């Protein structure tokens, strides 16, 4: 019992990329830059969606929720990672690790559901345009957003609670960039078959099922778009969906690679870079993709900037 409680008393050594100091210094600058861009980009999406009347639609309501999730998700990881990378001693308290475990998994799970909800919104917009406002009424949009947030919270409470109960028997060297369920399972000194099965089931529910629903939605969307005789109409229809589809491919591609494999199968640094990508890089790509590929967002941003410039000149 004393040996099992050792990690909770000592905390963890978050090794990250400590074995390569030069790489660690480079990554520190990159992570800091991407974190700042994440805050600025996603905050801009939230503000422009709120301030521009033209963007008061279900699509941008869900996009604002996605930006909020991304800000919180990266904030639960990046600051601690930057602090740890800047120190010689890579210590992280047990309580901080557990808190990060719950928050990061909850927000990541919520994003999985939210991306599926956004696919349904695009299906309704393209395949049921005449009934779109009736189908995606404000009450339904609010309910779907709440379901996405609550589902992440519930799965985090279940999965993380099972993980923190595993005896670590004094193992406190966490060879990763943050506290993540598959990594903590590796540290356990008991049979983790049940935990791995539970993690696999949760991954299927929050990864495979949403991806399947997204693929079905885009199958109907593609079928509907191909029936449009006008080339301009087809481009416009695909344009409204392409940004979301790119985000889905990037996000799900990396997170599925991390979670749908045996907990002890990945190489030493492979899991670190994969986790770094979907926790730090992907949240920055979301506002960039939606801004660069969306005329409504670019137009609303220009209008708001010009309005602020005129107001500042008049004052």
pLDDT along the chain (315 residues), means of 10: 50 83 90 94 89 86 93 94 86 88 93 92 89 92 95 92 84 83 85 86 87 90 84 72 80 76 58 84 82 68 69 61
Among candidate residues 70, 68, 66, the one with its CA nearest the CA of residue 119: 66
Q: What is the predicted pLDDT for the residue at 4?
A: 44
H or E segment to which residue 239 belongs: helix 231-259
pLDDT at position 13 is: 85
Alpha-carbon distance of 243 to 45, in angstroms, equals 14
Residue 3: what are its φ and ψ, rounded to 5°? Answer: -70, -35
pLDDT value at residue 156: 92
User: What pLDDT does residue 255 have?
Assistant: 79
Contact 64, 46 (CB under 8 A): yes
CB 259 within 8 A of CB 199: yes
Structure tokens at 177: 């960039």
The vertex-47 CA angle with 46 and 50, nearest 5°, equals 85
- Is the pTM of the predicted complex or chain greater than 0.75? yes
- Residue 111 CA to residue 48 CA, distance in Å, equals 21
Which residues are CB-neighbours of 13 under 8 A, at least 6 positions away?
Answer: 90, 91, 92, 172, 173, 174
Location of structure tokens 């491919």: 249
Q: Are 39 and 289 in contact (CB under 8 A)?
A: no
What is the CA 182 to chain-centroid distance, rounded? 17
pLDDT at 260: 65
Please report where in the chains the tokens 């740890």 appear, as a residue.
84
Residue 191's pLDDT is 85
Instruction: Go through the domains of the chain in sequence order and give each one's CATH number.
Output: 11-296 (1.20.1070.10)
Q: What angle do CA 134, 135, 141 make, to 5 degrees?
A: 110
- Least Cα distance to 111 among 283, 300, 236 occurs for 283
Q: Are 85 and 16 in contact (CB under 8 A)?
A: yes
Q: What's the pLDDT at 292?
A: 61
Could you list the beta-strand ranges (E) of 100-230: 173-174
Secondary structure class of 174 (helix, strand, coil): strand
Q: What pLDDT does 153 receive?
A: 93
pLDDT at 270: 74
For the chain, the C-alpha Rg in angstroms (whole number) is: 21
Q: In what side-by-side order are the strands of the sheet with 91-92?
A: 91-92, 12-14, 173-174
Burial 99-133, CB ≥16 within 10 A → b, else e: ebbbbbbbbbbbbbbbbbbbbbbbbbbbbeeeebe
Sheet strands (E) in the chain: 12-14, 91-92, 173-174
């Amino acid at each position: 019992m004393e040996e099992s409680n050792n990690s909770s008393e000592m905390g963890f050594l978050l090794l990250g990329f400590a074995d390569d100091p030069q790489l660690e210094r480079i990554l520190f600058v990159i992570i800091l830059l991407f974190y700042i861009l994440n805050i600025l980009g996603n905050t801009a999406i939230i503000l422009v969606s709120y301030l521009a009347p033209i963007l008061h639609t279900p699509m941008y309501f869900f996009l604002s929720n996605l930006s909020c999730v991304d800000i919180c998700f990266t904030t639960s990881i990046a600051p601690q990672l930057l602090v740890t990378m800047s120190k010689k001693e890579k210590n992280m308290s047990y309580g901080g690790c557990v808190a990060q475990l719950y928050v990061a998994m909850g927000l990541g799970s919520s994003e999985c559901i939210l991306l599926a909800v956004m696919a349904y919104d695009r299906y309704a917009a393209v395949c049921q345009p005449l009934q779109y406002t009736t189908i995606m009424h404000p009450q339904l949009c609010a309910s779907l957003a709440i379901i996405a947030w609550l589902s992440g919270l519930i799965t985090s409470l279940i999965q993380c609670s099972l993980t923190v109960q595993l005896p670590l028997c004094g193992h406190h060297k966490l060879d990763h960039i943050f506290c993540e369920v598959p990594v903590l399972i590796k540290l356990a000194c008991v049979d983790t078959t049940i935990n791995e099965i539970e993690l696999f089931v949760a991954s299927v529910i929050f990864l495979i099922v949403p991806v399947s629903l997204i693929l079905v939605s885009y199958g109907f969307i593609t079928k509907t778009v191909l029936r449009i005789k006008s080339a301009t109409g087809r481009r416009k229809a695909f344009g409204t969906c392409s940004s979301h589809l790119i985000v889905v491919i990037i996000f799900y591609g990396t997170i599925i690679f991390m979670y749908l494999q045996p907990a002890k199968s990945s190489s030493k640094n492979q899991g670190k870079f994969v986790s770094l990508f979907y926790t730090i890089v992907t949240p920055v790509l979301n506002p960039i993709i939606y801004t660069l590929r969306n005329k409504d967002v670019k137009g609303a941003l220009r209008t708001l900037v010009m309005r602020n410039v005129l107001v500042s000149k008049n004052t």
